Amino acid sequence: MANVTLRNVRKTYPGGFEAIKGVNVDVGDGQFCVLVGPSGCGKSTLLRMVAGLETVTGGEIDIGGRVVNQVEPADRDIAMVFQNYALYPHMSVFNNMAYGLRNRGMKEAEIKTRVEEAARVLELSAMLERKPRQLSGGQRQRVAMGRAIVRQPKVFLFDEPLSNLDAKLRIAMRVEIRKLQRRLKTTSVYVTHDQLEAMTLADILVVMNGGQVEQIGNPLAIYEKPATTFVASFIGAPPMNLMSMRTEEIKSQLGGSAGEAGILGIRPEDFVITDQTPAGGVALPLTIEAIERVGAETFIYGSRAQDEQRVAATPGELPPGEVIVRIPGTEAPAIGEKIRVAAVRQK
Ligand code: ATP
C-alpha cells in the first residue's frame, strides 16, 4: 500500500519566506491527487518536499506508512516526471529509459524486460533505437514517463509535465496519463496550474492558495460547491459570476434571514435567457457588451443595467456589473441588446 499522507507540513525557505503554512493531505493507495493553484502558491515546493528535493521545516511526510522526512530521494521509492523531460540527447530511447536502472546495478535481462514492457504500454516499441531529436514532443514526453514507469515506484510525482506541449498535444497526453495511471494503479501526485487538467485528471483535487489548502476533495464536488470565493473563481472557465448581495436581497431572493449578507455565485452555464423569474431563483437584466462564439457554445458578456443594479461585484473578482452567461449553440442576441437572464438556486 502506498498512501501519501502530509501532516501539518510546513516550509520556510532560508531567508524566512514561509512558502507552505501547514498542509494536510491524504492520498489513498492508487489514487491520483492533483495540486492546483496560481503561480507561487507553493505546489511545486510541496511536491519537491514529497520527492525529498526540499527539506521539510515542520510536520510529517508519510509514504506507504513510513515517515520519509529524513529519507534520501533515491530511497523513497518514488519516480518524478518533470516539465522539461531532460532526456539525454546522445542516448537512444531504450538507453534513456534504461539509464536509471543501470545506475542501480540491475541485470541487463531484467532491464530489457522492463523497458520493453514500458515501451509497449507507451506505444514506443518501434522507436527504441531512435534518439530524442528524432521524436515528436509528445513522444519525448512518453519517454520521460517511461523512465519513471520502468522503476516500478510506489508513487509517481508529476511536476507540470505537459506545460511545454502545444494545446492539442496537451489534451491528448492528459488522456494518456489518466489511462496509464488507471492501468498501473500507481499512487500519483500531479502539480499543475491548469484547472482543466486538474479537473479531468484528479481523483482528489487540492486547491492551493498562498501556501495553504483552500479546498480538498472530489473535483466535481468542488466545482459544484466551492468552499471559498477563491476556489469559485479559480475552478471553472470562464469563472463563476460572484456578486455581493445586500441583506434585503438575500432575504427576498434566496430566503435567508434578515441581517445576513453574502456573496452569490452563479456559474455562466447556470443562466438561461428568459423573461420569467423562476421561483426561488434570481433574474438579472443585462445589456450585451460582447459575444464569443466558440462553436458548440457561446459566451455572452453583459453588464447589469444601471437602474436595476441591485448587486455589485465583489472587489477583485469580476469587473463591476459584468456577468458572463454561457449558452449552448451559436444563436445569440446582438451586441447592445437588452436581455433578461435567470438562474435557479441550487441546494
Ligand atoms: P509556479 O506555478 O509558478 O511554479 P508554485 O505554486 O509551484 O508556482 P513554488 O515554486 O512552490 O510555487 O513557490 C512558492 C513560493 O516560494 C513562491 O513565492 C516562491 O517565490 C517561493 N520560493 C520558491 N523557491 C524558493 C527558494 N529557494 N527560496 C525562497 N523562496 C522560494
Closest C-alpha to ligand 1, atom 2:
39
Cα–Cα distance list, 135 to 34, 71, 92, 126, 293 (Å):
28, 36, 11, 11, 36
pTM above 0.90, yes or no: no
Closest C-alpha to ligand 1, atom 30:
13
- Pick the more confident residue, 49 or 182: 49
Q: How far apart are CA 169 and CA 183, in angstroms?
A: 21
- Are 77 and 153 in contact by the 8 Å Cβ rule? The answer is yes
- Which numbered atom of ligand 1 lies nearest the CA of 46? 11
Closest C-alpha to ligand 1, atom 25:
13
- Which numbered atom of ligand 1 lies nearest the CA of 37? 6
Of 244, 251, 212, nearest in space to 318 by CA: 244
**Residue type (1 letter), 290:** A
Q: What is the pLDDT of residue 6?
A: 98
**Residue type (1 letter), 32:** F
**Residue type (1 letter), 82:** F
pLDDT digits (tens, 9 = 90+) for 292-324: 999 999 999 998 765 444 444 333 334 456 899
Domains of the chain plus CATH, in order, are 4-234 (3.40.50.300), 241-344 (2.40.50.140)
Closest C-alpha to ligand 1, atom 29:
13
Which residues form ligand 1's pocket by a CB distance below 6 Å? Answer: 13, 15, 17, 19, 37, 39-45, 193
Q: What is the pLDDT of residue 259?
A: 54
ipTM for the predicted complex: 0.96
Closest C-alpha to ligand 1, atom 14:
42
Q: How far apart are CA 182 and CA 176, in angstroms?
A: 10
Please choose from 13, 190, 192, 213 the residue to mutate so as to test ligand 1's pocket, defined by most ligand atoms within 8 A of CB. Answer: 13
Closest C-alpha to ligand 1, atom 22:
19
**Residue type (1 letter), 112:** K
Which residue intervals of 126-194 are DSSP H helices? 137-149, 167-184
Q: What is the mean pLDDT of residues 51-58?
A: 96
Q: How many whole angstroms from 279 Cα to the centroid of ligand 1?
A: 48
Q: How far apart are CA 45 and CA 171, in angstroms?
A: 25
Q: How far apart are CA 339 and CA 327, in angstroms?
A: 13
What 67-71 contacts at long range (C-beta under 8 Å, 24+ apart), as own/partner pairs, is none
**What integer best gives the mean pLDDT of the chain?**
87
